[in-house]
């Protein structure tokens, strides 16, 4: 169960910071408007870092925070189909929650 909570909140944190930096650069009434590509890449870098840290701190065994990574691990035999399905649902739900927060 800790794995699911970690994947859920880790993905939510990833989306909050990643999409948050894109919103900050794109919206005209923000301080970061027109920040450029370096702000985008740095923001997404920190988004992934914070997402992984969050997932690992909350008990995620591998901190995938991306359904495609989980799918690839299932194909390679690291996850069963049941583990893949549950983890992917948690990640998608975390992404939706992160998007709503942004």
Report the distance separating Cα 79 and Cα 44, nearest Å: 27
Give, for all 102 residues of the chain, the pLDDT tens digit. Answer: 668 999 999 999 999 999 999 999 999 998 888 888 999 999 999 999 999 999 999 988 889 999 999 999 999 999 999 999 999 999 999 999 999 999
Report the distance separating Cα 18 and Cα 46, nearest Å: 8
Report the distance separating Cα 86 and Cα 57, nearest Å: 19
Domain ranges in the chain are 2-35+43-101
CATH of 2-35+43-101, one of 1.10.10.10, 1.10.10.60, 1.20.1080.10, 3.30.413.10: 1.20.1080.10
Report the distance separating Cα 53 and Cα 36, nearest Å: 26
User: CA torsion sign, 54 to 55 to 59 to 63?
Assistant: negative
pLDDT at 59: 85
Report whether 33 contacts 62 (CB < 8 A): no
pLDDT at 1: 64
Location of structure tokens 């370096």: 38
- What is this structure's pTM? 0.90
């Amino acid at each position: 169960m800790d794995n699911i909570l970690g994947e859920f909140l880790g993905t939510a944190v990833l989306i909050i910071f990643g999409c948050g930096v894109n919103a900050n650069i794109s919206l005209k009434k923000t301080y970061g408007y027109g920040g450029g590509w370096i702000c985008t890449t740095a923001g997404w870098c920190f988004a992934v870092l914070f997402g992984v840290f969050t997932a690992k701190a909350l008990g995620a065994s591998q901190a995938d925070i991306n359904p495609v990574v989980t799918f690839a691990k299932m194909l390679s035999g690291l996850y069963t189909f049941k583990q893949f399905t549950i983890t992917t649902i948690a990640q998608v739900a975390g992404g939706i929650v992160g998007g709503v927060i942004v």
